[in-house]
């Protein structure tokens, strides 16, 4: 089978490993610098081709994977003056960012007359899983479109779930992150209350670990709490706040109340407002503790 030319934009913490796996699996790969040149230089040394703009990438690729921060960045890459759509060629965009579902569905409708297909395929797990090729992917799109990009997704995924039409992948990702950011807020507050009562984090962990409330998210979170491992869960608090803001907009558009979501968003908003947005999510526990006078 002839493999399609694949482009990749967004070589951040997740994107570096994803792109490397596409290249390792034998797909012709084009990359461009978005924020950091180092991953580009590494991938080019391994056989990737560097391009200067999204438009140039679209002129050579049949599939372009995006792994940028969110909807504003996706729109800039796709619809900007030198964006993907400016090339005027039929192709498929796979948006692995955590984006606003309402923006995703509108963008897909706008691109369809230009023979550009948008598939949303957001991710779950960590940069270590991206490098290992074991990410979880929630993919939204028509059956035929999903089948077309499935072999590319398999390069960096251990589990792929087709959630339904375009937009459902990003919806499911928001729900997934609501749960995970909710856990982070709960852990942080529970640790602070325990410390106030004289319970050390090690005692807290000895009760939770191995019990019904244990899970992989808990384990990576507590690698920071107990071991101070900064690489345990490399997801910025500012991104958690962004995702919870998308969830709030989604709930408003649906006309429903989500009081727990609002509380989780506020926990992240406070940390961002205090200048801690670049900290990783497990470090929310430090912020909540410090705000209440404990370590």
| Pairing status of strand 63-66 against strand 91-95 | parallel
From residue 242, how far is each of 19, 239, 278 by CA, in Å? Answer: 24, 5, 12
* Residue 201: Cβ within 10 Å count: 17
Residues with a known catalytic role: 173
The pLDDT tens digits for 21-62 are 999 999 999 999 877 889 999 999 999 999 999 999 999 999
Place of tokens 């039409």: 165
Contact 66, 31 (CB under 8 A): no
pTM of the model: 0.90
Instruction: Give the mean model confidence (pLDDT) for residues 142-147.
Output: 97
Confidence band (pLDDT; 50, 70, 90) for 155?
Answer: very high
pLDDT at residue 281 in the model? 97
Backbone angles phi, psi at 117, to 5 degrees: -100, 135
Instruction: Give the mean model confidence (pLDDT) for residues 190-199.
Output: 97
Q: Is the pLDDT of residue 1 over 90?
A: no
Mean pLDDT, all residues of the chain: 95
pLDDT at residue 33 in the model? 82
Contact 169, 138 (CB under 8 A): yes
Contact 30, 60 (CB under 8 A): yes
Complete DSSP assignment for 147-164: HHHHHHHTTTEEEEEEEE
């Amino acid at each position: 089978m002839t493999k399609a030319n694949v482009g990749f934009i967004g070589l951040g913490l997740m994107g570096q490993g994803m792109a490397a796996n596409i290249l390792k699996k034998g797909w012709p790969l084009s990359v461009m610098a978005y924020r950091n040149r180092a991953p580009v230089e590494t991938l080019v040394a391994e056989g990737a081709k560097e391009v200067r703009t999204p438009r140039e990438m679209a002129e050579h690729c049949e599939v372009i994977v995006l792994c940028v921060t969110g909807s504003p960045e996706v729109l800039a890459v796709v619809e900007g003056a030198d964006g993907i759509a400016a090339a005027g060629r039929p192709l498929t965009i796979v948006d692995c960012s955590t984006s606003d579902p309402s923006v995703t569905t509108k963008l897909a409708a706008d691109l369809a007359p230009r023979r550009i297909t948008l598939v949303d395929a957001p991710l779950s797990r960590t940069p270590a899983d991206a490098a290992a090729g074991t990410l979880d992917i929630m993919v939204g799109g028509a059956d035929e479109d999903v089948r077309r990009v499935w072999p590319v997704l398999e390069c960096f995924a251990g589990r792929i779930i087709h959630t339904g039409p375009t937009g459902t992948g990003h919806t499911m990702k928001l729900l997934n992150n609501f749960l995970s950011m909710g856990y982070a807020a709960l852990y942080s507050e529970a640790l602070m209350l325990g410390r106030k009562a004289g319970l050390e984090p090690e005692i807290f962990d000895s009760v939770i670990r191995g019990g019904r409330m244990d899970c992989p998210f808990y384990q990576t979170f507590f690698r920071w709490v107990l071991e101070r491992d900064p690489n345990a869960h490399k997801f910025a608090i500012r991104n958690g706040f962004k995702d919870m803001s998308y969830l709030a907009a989604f709930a408003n558009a649906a006309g429903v109340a989500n009081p727990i979501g609002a509380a989780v968003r506020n926990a992240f908003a406070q940390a961002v407002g205090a200048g801690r947005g670049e900290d990783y999510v497990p470090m929310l526990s430090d912020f909540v503790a410090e705000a209440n006078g404990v370590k």
